[in-house]
Structure formats: structure tokens, C-alpha cells
Amino acid sequence: MSRETALVTADWVEEHLNDPKVVLVEVDEDTEAYDKGHIPGAVKLDWKKDLQDGVRHDFVSKDRLEALLSEKGIANDDTIVFYGGNNNWFAAYAYWYLKYYGHQNLRLLDGGRKKWELESRELTTDVPSREATTYTAQEPNADIRAFRDEVVEAIGTKNLIDVRSPDEYAGRLLAPAHLPQEAAQIGGHIPTAGNVPWSKAANEDGTFKSDEELAQLYSEAGLDENKDTIAYCRIGERSSHTWFVLHEILGYPNVKNYDGSWSEYGSLRGVPVAVGDQPGQA
């Protein structure tokens, strides 16, 4: 994977607005953002209603995802271009999620909704109608998703990257600062995890930094390219953004997203926890 195969520019999107095999999909933390205006032709995915099971604390099943994408008019051979607010935070989550279910042609719009808006490019409230398809998802790809037991075993052996803000890492905040402070039972981080806030991978306009800047960012935090890596945050969205950087842009081979993240880990019994600004000991 590389920048060229994972990202597209706003100009590229404008050139492909009428390409029937390119589907723009907006995914936002603010699930009403799409309704206020979106890129012409874009369809909406609601990260909560569409992508969470609702009963189990987990993804929707393969069957449900197939029904969802079929109804949205997305075909197996379509190129899906995700974009959204907050530096593509939730768009990166949807990208990782569809990669998990085996979609082949995925891209992120570099800079996401913010750059598009700040450049005063066209937004519309017209909702497109796409003819329904018969979408077939693949079996989940366990190579890119970590569960709790693997995370506990990774302490002191694999790269653990905590991508939350420094205050969340240290245990001074339990959630991002624009959300009410609730989630895990306790604050802190997984011992030995380095802290590279996800947002450091993005420029102020939401585009990703250069490959050189990105590689340096993680190596300075102690990431060893010869080891496997697990990224986590609070609920797995911001760490999807970092997974995207490490796996899709920089092409590091073994990178997993722990989507249970701190909201799960910080509520577990019997696991070690570190507080404060230092990684802590295994």
C-alpha cells in the first residue's frame, strides 16, 4: 500500500463526480453533517446506526453489511471514496471496516470534508438515488483487527501506540474534549504504549503529512518497524486513522486496530494500567 493507492485529492474527486464506478461516501462523527450539505453524488453511512450491531457491542454481521451496501447501491467492483469531518476520523474508521470485510478498491479523500469546505467547493443537499446492487462481502480479515487478549499479550513485546490526546493518555481526561467525559471506568493507558496523538498525522487542513514526516513521527515515539503494531484510542475510530497511516500510507505490514480500545481496556479486571505521561513498564 502507499499514498498513491490509498488517497485521492479533491481535484480528483471533482473530475470523477459523474463516474458511475466511483462512489463517494460521507461518514461523520456528527451524523447530521451530511444532511446539511455533502459532496454532489455522495451517499451517507451512519457509523452508529449502520455499522454497529446495536445488541452485541460489535460490528454488524457480514449479512447485514451486504444488505446495507446493496441498498446503498455500492457494487463489489466500485471504488469507494470515503470522506468526513475531523480530519477523516470516522471516514478512516469506515475504510478500515470495509477493508476488514474485504472490499478491494478503497480510498480516502485527503483533507476530508474540512478541506473541501474551507476551499469553498460545491456542497449539495440533494440525496442521490443509486440502483440497488447485490453486494458480497468477504470473511473478516483478522490480520487488521486486534482483540483484548492479543493486546494484553502485546505488552512489552509489540509496538503499542495510544493515539489519544496527551490528557487522555495520562488519565486526566476520559474522552475527547468535545464529548462529555464518560466511557471507561478508569483513566490511563496500556503499559509500554507510546503516545502519538492521531491528529499529529494530519496538517491543519486535514490532509495527511508527508511520508517522511509520518515515518519520523512514529519512530520518535519508539515504533520499531521490525515489530508488529497495535493502535488504539477510546473507541477505535481515531486509531483507524493511525492504522490508515501506518498500514495504508507507510505500508508497514503488520498493523492492527484494537477497536475495543480504552473504553474496553479501561474497564477490564486483571490487566495492568499505567497513568501519567510516561509509557510505564511491562
Partner 1 sequence: MCGAIKGGPSLEGVDVANQAVIQGIVTRDDEPVGNAYVRLLDAGGEFTAEVPTSATGQFRFFAAPGSWTLRTLVPRADVVERKVVAQKGAVAEVAVTV
Contact 45/25 with Cβ under 8 angstroms?
yes
Decide whether 106 or 231 has the Cβ nearer to partner 1.
231
Decide whether 101 or 198 has the Cβ nearer to partner 1.
198
Decide whether 220 or 225 has the Cβ nearer to partner 1.
220
Decide whether 58 or 119 has the Cβ nearer to partner 1.
119
The residues annotated as belonging to the active site are: 233
Q: Shortest CA distance to 157 belongs to which of 103, 224, 218?
A: 224
Strand ranges inside 151-199, DSSP E: 159-162, 194-195
Cell reading at 44: 451517507
Handedness of CA 186, 190, 192, 193 (dihedral sign): negative
Binding residues for partner 1, rule: CB under 8 A, are 30, 33, 36, 85-87, 114, 117-120, 165-167, 172-173, 175-181, 197, 199-200, 204
256 beta partners:
230
Min dist CB 276 to partner 1, Å, is 14
Min dist CB 64 to partner 1, Å, is 29
Between the CA of residue 36 and those of 71, 89, 91, 235, what are the distances in Å? 22, 19, 17, 26
Min dist CB 164 to partner 1, Å, is 10
Which helix H or strand E contains 63, and what residues bound it? helix 62-72
Min dist CB 240 to partner 1, Å, is 17
